[in-house]
Amino acid sequence: MPSRLRIGQAAELLRVSTDTVRRLVDSGQIKTARSSGGQRQIDGVALARYMAALPRPDPPSVVSESARNRFSGIVTRVIKDGVAAQVEMQAGPFRIVSLITRESADELGLEPGVIAVASVKSTNVVIELPRS
């Protein structure tokens, strides 16, 4: 099921302040809905579309990271065939693509707007769901 995110969660995913997210909402760039308590919630699918359309900077020429990296982000696209699934995520300025089994994608409920974590080690990318 696509996510409904609090303003702060969207800000964390976008790597911006909550005030910036409010401005994006007020300008109509990101769609929201009201919770039963009247709070604005960001539509996960709308946020995924917005993030997928952001310009992507060139990656740094030298990266000093450990061998295992974890990127929290939002699923922007899932393409499934009979056996495999291509899952695309946006994690801050980074676009991550993973090829996993269709069964795994179905079991995780991966679809645009779902918050997930990409664990990267060497050339393998594993998609996980964060603990709520």
124 pLDDT above the threshold of 80: no
- pLDDT computed for residue 82 by the predictor: 93
Q: What is the pLDDT of residue 114?
A: 94
Query: Which has more confidence, 108 or 68?
Result: 108
pLDDT at 60: 55
d(CA 123, CA 73): 19
> Domain segments of the chain: what residues?
4-53, 68-128
Which helix (H) or strand (E) segment is 62 a member of?
none
pTM (2 d.p.)? 0.61
Mean pLDDT over each residue of the chain, to the nearest integer: 86
Residue 67: per-residue pLDDT: 46
pLDDT tens for residues 46-68? 898 899 888 876 655 544 445 46
Considering only CA atoms, which of 122, 82, 123 is closest in space to residue 105? 82
CATH 2.40.50.100 correct for 68-128: yes
Instruction: Please provide residue 48's backbone torsions phi and psi, each rounded to the nearest 5 degrees.
Output: -60, -45
